[in-house]
C-alpha cells in the first residue's frame, strides 16, 4: 500500500471522527453531521481499496477514544458506522467468476470451449450484510442502555414540568401516547441506522465513481435492489419474537425494524422499476415519498411489496448445488 493511500485513509478517519464528535454539542445540526459519519469511510473504501477503508474504519474510533477517553462512544462509532461501512465497501469491490458456459459447436471440426464471466457482489447480499450489521449494532446499544420504564417516566416528568394541567382523560391519553413512543424506539432506531448506512454508502459510491476511482460498474439500483430469500425466514422468526418479553423481545424487535426497512427499500425499488417510462412517474414518486414522510403508514405497503418481490425473485445466500 502506498504511503499516500495511508494518509488518505487517516484523513478520512479524522473527518469521520470530527463529524461524530459533533454529537457532544447536542444540536440538531450536529446530529445531521453525525449521520454523515460513514461517508468518508465509504469514499476511501470504494475508491482506494478495502485495506484503506478498514484503516479508516479502525482509526476513527481510536481517535475518538484518544481525545475523549470515552470507550462506549468509540465502540458505538466502530460497531454502528465505520466497520459496517468498510465491510460493505469491501464486498462491493469483490469480484468472482461465474460458472463457465460451454460454447456451442457449429461444425464437426469445431472445438468446444468454455467461457467464464466476471461478476460483482450482488446488491442483495450487500444490503443483507449491511442490515445485519445495523440490527446487531442497535441491539447491542439498546440492550445495554435502554430502559423503557425509565424513558417513560422521564417523558412524563418532562410533560409535567411544562406547567400544563391536564384533566384525567387527557392524562390517560398522554400516558398512552408516551407508551406508544417508548414501544416504537426499538423499531425506529435500527430503521434510521439502516437508512443512514444505505444512503451514506450510496453517496460514497457516487463520489468515488465521479472521481474515477471506483472500479465497479454503475448498478441499476431499481433492478438490482433486493434481499436474499434467507432473509424472509429471519424476518419471520424475529417478527414472531417481538411477542416475547425482556431482552429477547427487545432484540427481536430491533431485527424486525432493521430488516423491515430493508424490505421496504426493495418495495420502493420495485416502484421505481415499474414506473419507468411513464409520463406521470415524477408525480407518482413525489406523492409516494411525501405520503411516507408525513403519514408513515404507507411504508408498510412497500414492506409487503418488498417481501413478495424477494419471495418470488430473490436468490438464496447458498445456492443449491446441481445434482
- Give the tens place of pLDDT for each residue, 151-191: 778 777 777 666 666 677 777 787 788 888 888 888 999 99
- Give the tens place of pLDDT for each residue, 55-93: 999 999 999 999 988 898 899 999 999 999 999 999 999
Is residue 110 in a domain? no
What distance in Å separates the CA atoms of residue 291 and residue 304, rounded to the nearest whole number? 17
CA angle 130, 132, 223 (to 5 degrees): 50
Of the three residues 76, 94, 112, the one that is the final residue of a domain is: 94
Is residue 215 in a domain? yes
- Give 228's contacts (C-beta < 8 A, 6+ positions apart): 124, 125, 128, 310, 314, 315, 316, 317
Helix/strand/coil (H/E/C) assignment for every residue in 103-117: CCCCCCCCCCCEECC
Instruction: Find the domain containing 179 and state its range.
Output: 120-323
Is residue 114 in a domain? no
Are 256 and 316 part of one and the same domain?
yes
What distance in Å separates the CA atoms of residue 314 and residue 124, rounded to the nearest whole number? 8
Is residue 310 in a domain? yes
The CB density around residue 153, as the number of other CB atoms within 10 Å, is: 13
Rounded mean pLDDT, 98-111: 53
pLDDT at 321 over 80: no
The CB density around residue 296, as the number of other CB atoms within 10 Å, is: 9
Number of domains in the chain: 2
Please, are residues 249 and 242 in contact by the beta-carbon 8 Å criterion? yes
Residue 318 is given by DSSP the state S
Q: Check residue 24 and give its pLDDT.
A: 64
- Here the cell at position 211 is 472521481
Q: Check residue 123 and give its pLDDT.
A: 95
Confidence of residue 323 (pLDDT cuts 50, 70, 90): very low
Confidence of residue 286 (pLDDT cuts 50, 70, 90): very high
Amino acid at each position: 500500500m502506498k504511503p499516500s493511500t495511508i494518509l488518505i485513509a487517516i484523513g478520512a478517519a479524522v473527518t469521520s471522527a470530527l463529524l461524530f464528535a459533533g454529537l457532544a454539542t447536542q444540536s440538531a445540526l450536529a446530529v445531521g453531521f453525525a449521520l454523515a459519519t460513514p461517508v468518508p469511510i465509504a469514499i476511501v473504501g470504494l475508491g482506494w481499496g478495502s485495506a484503506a477503508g478498514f484503516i479508516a474504519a479502525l482509526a476513527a474510533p481510536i481517535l475518538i477514544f484518544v481525545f475523549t477517553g470515552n470507550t462506549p462512544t468509540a465502540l458505538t462509532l466502530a460497531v454502528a458506522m465505520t466497520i459496517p461501512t468498510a465491510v460493505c465497501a469491501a464486498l462491493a469491490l469483490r469480484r468472482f467468476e461465474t460458472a463457465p458456459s460451454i460454447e456451442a459447436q457449429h461444425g464437426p471440426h469445431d472445438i468446444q470451449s468454455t467461457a467464464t464471466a466476471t461478476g460483482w457482489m450482488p446488491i442483495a447480499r450487500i444490503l443483507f450484510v449491511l442490515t445485519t450489521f445495523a440490527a446487531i449494532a442497535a441491539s447491542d446499544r439498546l440492550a445495554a442502555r435502554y430502559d423503557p420504564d425509565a424513558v417513560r417516566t422521564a417523558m412524563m416528568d418532562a410533560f409535567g414540568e411544562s406547567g400544563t394541567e391536564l384533566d384525567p382523560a387527557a392524562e390517560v391519553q398522554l400516558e398512552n401516547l408516551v407508551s406508544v413512543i417508548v414501544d416504537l424506539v426499538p423499531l425506529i432506531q435500527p430503521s434510521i441506522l439502516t437508512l443512514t448506512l444505505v444512503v451514506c454508502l450510496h453517496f460514497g459510491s457516487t463520489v468515488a465513481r465521479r472521481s474515477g476511482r471506483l472500479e465497479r460498474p454503475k448498478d441499476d439500483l431499481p433492478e438490482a435492489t433486493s434481499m436474499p430469500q434467507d432473509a424472509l425466514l429471519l424476518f419471520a422468526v424475529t417478527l414472531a419474537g417481538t411477542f416475547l418479553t425482556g431482552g429477547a423481545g427487545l432484540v427481536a424487535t430491533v431485527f424486525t425494524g432493521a430488516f423491515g426497512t430493508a424490505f421496504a427499500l426493495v418495495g420502493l425499488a420495485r416502484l421505481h422499476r415499474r414506473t419507468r417510462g411513464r409520463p406521470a412517474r415524477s408525480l407518482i414518486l413525489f406523492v409516494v415519498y411525501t405520503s411516507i414522510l408525513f403519514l408513515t403508514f404507507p411504508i408498510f405497503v412497500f414492506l409487503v411489496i418488498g417481501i413478495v418481490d424477494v419471495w418470488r425473485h430473490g436468490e438464496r445466500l447458498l445456492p443449491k448445488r446441481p445434482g
